[in-house]
Structure 1
Amino acid sequence: MKRSKAWMLPLTALIILALTACGGSKPDSPGTSEGSAKGSDKPLKDVKVVLDWTPNTNHTGLYVAKEKGFYEKEGLNVEIVQPGQASADDLVASNKIPFGISYQESVTQARIQGVPLVSIAAVIQHNTSGFAAPVDRSIQSPKDFEGKTYGGWGSPVEEAVMKSIMDLQGADVKKVKNINIGDADYFTAVKRDIDFAWIYYAWTGVEAELRGEPLDMLYVKDYSKDLDYYTPVIVTNEETIKSDPELVKSFMKATSEGYKFAIDKPEEAAGILSAAVPELDKKLVAASQKWLSPRYQDDASQWGVQKAEVWSNYATWMYDHKLLDKQLEADKAFTNDFLPKE
């Protein structure tokens, strides 16, 4: 489960995306399938949702909703696709695909540049990412980053987060060596080039447990409430919300059912994901799902709900750390309106 590289989009590309989307370009023709909604003669509507990366347990609810017929019940034939040269953010913002998986940080960056992404659900209620190191590196606090080598993907947010939590302990981020490891596997990189990296515990951390390679994990949310942001999120675009709100509502009703199923039945949900994506390690999927399922909703009133203060707190943090040119209009970046009423 890799971190997003949406941060690396040039500003000109973001602006072009905004102009394209605002011009009212239509998504790929949805057509109709040969099937029909259960209990109805009405043809199913073909809809795509694009992942942020390769399939993993962040996405289980989507696969459950498809396998269990929750989408079909809502009149939808949903195809789950992986991004190619274009990222999920690109495809959704330009209205090529109506739904995708993204991150609060990249949605915030996009909104500042006029790109019309809108978050419609938090997949996980609290940030499960952080800095991880093999225990033999003795990195048990941000101060221990000094003198060590960090492997990242070249985003300005990485050093800003690192500096932010190191400053709290009087540590100097300039004493950390940064190298770009790109798409290199974490376990290979820490044996060869680096001491620590930024990971999602639900995948890489759980994999480390299964490998018998224990980690010291420093969750960024534990050092600042501003860093307890939503990652990942489900996104759509303003044009889809405006032109077909019923589609968004139907998609989110079924998707919510999928994630609630994964919360209640993690073992069965893991089996559904493994069957849909057989190249995944089944033991890793099962262990990851067990760890992640209770964290989907956590302490929220329902799965997917988002709070304005989480969006505004993180955006203010970004602005204060010179990652944004202006303050975010948080109320336009997300909505809970399409979650089912409970």
Structure 2
Amino acid sequence: MPGELALDWTPNTNHTGFYVAQSKGWYADEHIKLEISSPHTSDYQITPVNLLTQDKVTFAIAPSESIISAQTLQNATDKPHIQAVAAVLQQDTSAIVTRTDSGIDRPAQLDGKRYASYGARYEGRIVQQLIRNDGGKGEFEEFTPPKLGIWDTILKGEADATWIFEGWEGIEAEQKSVALNRFRLADYGVPYGYSPLVLACSDTLQKSPDLVRGFLKATARGFQYAADHPDEAAKIFFDQASKELQGDAPSAELHWEQVQASQPFVSKHYLSKDGSWGAMDTARWDKFLDWLSEAGLLTTKVQSRHAESSTTSSLMGLLKGDVGDRIPRTSVKASELFTNSYLSS
């Protein structure tokens, strides 16, 4: 069976398990011929979720907010229903970061500063609430560099802050002797959800359940191997991903030293306490949804680069309160956003 996985970023150690499973033939054991696509091939002109809903891929990688956003669009009933079918990481390894030499050593000091954004629907307002929770006003500039160049804006001092994975960009910063201040969301009263997740369309779940189960079974083997054997997994990932990236854009280039240092950090976050991969907890979803609702982030307007309308606003418009109507918390059910049903028991 053919299958394609759209990554959320250029290949990195969050993705190691997929490459291990592919290298060891575990997808082939499940009669799946898997292709892995990286967003650098299109300069990230289309998101993994859009690739999924346009039926261009079978599975996609994205954070909790992406699926919440997809299910709360005003025209959501016109689009394919999607669900999270596995959590890639069990703990949140992301953080909002600033350079230590910027003097911005707490979120409240981001008032009046520039935040390099991926342009996601809830992103800026989550950062805004983070600042407010630290006693700031939440008034800052959210701007959108080319997605694959966002991290470079921090390295070059062109932005004051952005959102990273500590196990990837954080490792790179250490190796480049760039000291970072790291503001972890949980430390400032933000009960963040899962990131990243594996998503699939409900149509695929219903029509091709064996494909989904086989894919997740092989993937779980890959991540369990990477958790148990980080050094070997790092080598497999580096060799496999480097072959795929050979001759591609410099933005996608892998460096062995970064992979080697990153893998032991990330491998600690793949599995749950009982040693399993992928399972999600309803209470964690509900806690994040409750927080989004209580903070006033569950609203109807979505981000747009075009003229504002009754259903859209600019990123800065969202930050300034042009958010549309509140979406009732009761209308957003965790049970419709994720399922553990396709994971091996």
Tell me if TM exceeds 0.5.
yes
Mean alpha-carbon deviation: is it higher for 148-157 or for 305-314? 148-157
Unaligned 5+ segments in structure 1 are: 1-44
**Which amino acid in structure 2 is aligned with residue 143 of structure 1?**
A
1:149 aligns with 2:114: yes
Alpha-carbon distance in 2 for matches of 1:63, 1:185 = 25
Shift of 1:186: 2.2
Alpha-carbon distance in 1 for matches of 2:7, 2:225 = 20
1:302-342 CA distance string (max 9 Å, x none): 2111011222222233334234343312101101111111x
Q: Which residue of 2 aligns with 1:81?
A: 37
1:134-159 CA distance string (max 9 Å, x none): 11123332222234332223445233
Local SS of the residue matching 1:296: coil
**Which amino acid in structure 1 is aligned with residue 283 of structure 2?**
E
Q: Which residue of 2 aligns with 1:335?
A: 339
Shift of 1:223: 1.9
Shift of 1:52: 1.8
Shift of 1:72: 1.4
**Which amino acid in structure 1 is aligned with residue 338 of structure 2?**
F
Q: Which residue of 1 aligns with 2:94?
A: 129
**Which amino acid in structure 2 is aligned with residue 242 of structure 1?**
Q
The equivalences for 1:22-37 within 5 A come to none
1:200-250 CA distance string (max 9 Å, x none): 1111101011111121111112222522x1111011110111111111111
1:255-288 CA distance string (max 9 Å, x none): 0000001101111111111111224111111111
Q: Identical aligned pairs, as a percentage?
A: 32
Q: Which residue of 1 aligns with 2:269?
A: 295
Contact 1:98–1:236 (8 Å) recurs in 2 = yes
Pair 102,169 (structure 1): closer, same or farther in 2 beyond 3 Å:
closer
1:173 aligns with 2:177: no
Q: Which residue of 1 aligns with 2:282?
A: 308
Mean alpha-carbon deviation: is it higher for 189-198 or for 52-61? 189-198
Contact 1:152–1:179 (8 Å) recurs in 2 = yes
Pair 132,239 (structure 1): closer, same or farther in 2 beyond 3 Å:
same
Q: Which residue of 1 aligns with 2:297?
A: 322
TM-score normalised by L of structure 2: 0.79
Pair 137,293 (structure 1): closer, same or farther in 2 beyond 3 Å:
same
Q: Which residue of 2 aligns with 1:26?
A: none
1:145-204 CA distance string (max 9 Å, x none): 234332223445233112222222321112x34433333242444534222211111111
1:48 aligns with 2:9: no
**Which amino acid in structure 2 is aligned with residue 314 of structure 1?**
F
Alpha-carbon distance in 2 for matches of 1:46, 1:201 = 33
Q: Which residue of 1 aligns with 2:187?
A: 222
Shift of 1:300: 5.9
Contact 2:52–2:201 (8 Å) recurs in 1 = yes
**Which amino acid in structure 2 is aligned with residue 144 of structure 1?**
Q
Local SS of the residue matching 2:191: helix
Question: Which of residues 91, 96, 100 is equivalent to 2:56?
Answer: 96
TM-score normalised by L of structure 1: 0.80
Alpha-carbon distance in 1 for matches of 2:9, 2:163 = 16
Alpha-carbon distance in 1 for matches of 2:176, 2:13 = 18
Alpha-carbon distance in 2 for matches of 1:90, 1:179 = 22
**Which amino acid in structure 1 is aligned with residue 335 of structure 2?**
D
Question: Which of residues 58, 61, 66 is equivalent to 2:17?
Answer: 61
**Which amino acid in structure 1 is aligned with residue 13 of structure 2?**
T
Unaligned 5+ segments in structure 2 are: 243-252, 301-326
Contact 1:125–1:300 (8 Å) recurs in 2 = no
Shift of 1:124: 0.7
1:66-90 CA distance string (max 9 Å, x none): 1011111112221112244443212
Aligned alpha-carbon RMSD (Å): 2.0
Alpha-carbon distance in 1 for matches of 2:141, 2:283 = 34
Contact 2:99–2:154 (8 Å) recurs in 1 = no
Contact 1:95–1:239 (8 Å) recurs in 2 = no
Local SS of the residue matching 2:104: coil
Local SS of the residue matching 1:120: strand
Question: Which of residues 281, 284, 303 is equivalent to 2:255?
Answer: 281
Question: Which of residues 177, 184, 203 is equivalent to 1:239?
Answer: 203
Question: Which of residues 180, 192, 200 is equivalent to 2:165?
Answer: 200
Alpha-carbon distance in 1 for matches of 2:256, 2:234 = 8
Alpha-carbon distance in 2 for matches of 1:86, 1:188 = 21
Aligned length: 295
